[in-house]
């Protein structure tokens, strides 16, 4: 599938797959407030090619039923995609880390609803 728009996600996906081959992506959807980032839900997918357009990913993530503002992708592999049990364990460990510190999102590849790269910055209290 091709995309009619340029975005950071598609370039990242193509580069990641070209460099490392198939992998598992742990995905965390978040809501972004003025001074907060709140994890909403998470999942994982096995990436076996680089042809997914951002619009395909948005459609897939719509199945979460969540009103999300950002999605973080954490690639993991063990000689290829992880088996389901390993992916679930890694996803749960990631969820626990994110609950303790939203800056963990910066360890992944964080994109807004339009597929543009983002990062979380620390905010000092007033």
Does 125 reside within a domain?
no
* Residue 124 maps to a domain: no
Encode pLDDT of 93-113 as tens digits: 999 999 999 999 999 999 999
Neighbours of 47 (CB within 10 A): 20
Is residue 122 assigned to a domain? no
Q: Is pLDDT of 84 > 80?
A: yes
* Residue 126 resides in a domain: no
**Predicted model pTM:** 0.91
Strand, coil or helix: 46: strand
How far apart, in whole angstroms, are the C-alpha atoms of residue 115 and residue 9?
Answer: 5
Q: What pLDDT is attached to residue 4?
A: 46
Residues 1-47 have pLDDT tens digits of: 334 457 999 999 999 999 999 999 999 999 999 888 999 999 999 99
Domain that holds residue 12: 8-114
Rounded Cα–Cα distance for residues 100 and 116 (Å): 25
Is 63 domain-assigned?
A: yes
Question: How many structural domains does the chain have?
Answer: 1
Residues in the chain: 126
What sections of the chain are H helices per DSSP?
A: 8-20, 54-62, 84-100
Q: For residues 54 and 9, what is the distance between their CA atoms, to the nearest angstrom?
A: 7
Q: Specify the pLDDT at position 123.
A: 77
Write down the pLDDT at residue 126: 64
Q: Answer yes or no: is 88 within a domain.
A: yes
Whether 90 maps to a domain, the answer reads yes
- Residue 3: inside a domain, yes or no? no
């Amino acid at each position: 599938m091709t995309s009619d728009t340029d975005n950071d996600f598609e370039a990242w996906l193509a580069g990641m797959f070209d460099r490392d081959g198939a992998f598992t992506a742990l995905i965390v959807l978040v809501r972004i407030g003025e001074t907060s980032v709140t994890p909403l839900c998470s999942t994982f997918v096995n990436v076996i090619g680089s042809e997914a357009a951002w619009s395909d990913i948005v459609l897939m993530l719509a199945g979460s039923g969540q009103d999300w503002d950002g999605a973080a992708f954490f690639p993991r592999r063990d000689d290829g995609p992880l088996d389901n049990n390993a992916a679930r364990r890694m996803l749960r460990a990631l969820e626990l880390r994110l609950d303790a510190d939203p800056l963990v999102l910066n360890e992944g590849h964080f994109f807004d609803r339009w597929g543009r790269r983002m990062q979380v910055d620390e905010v000092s209290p007033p």
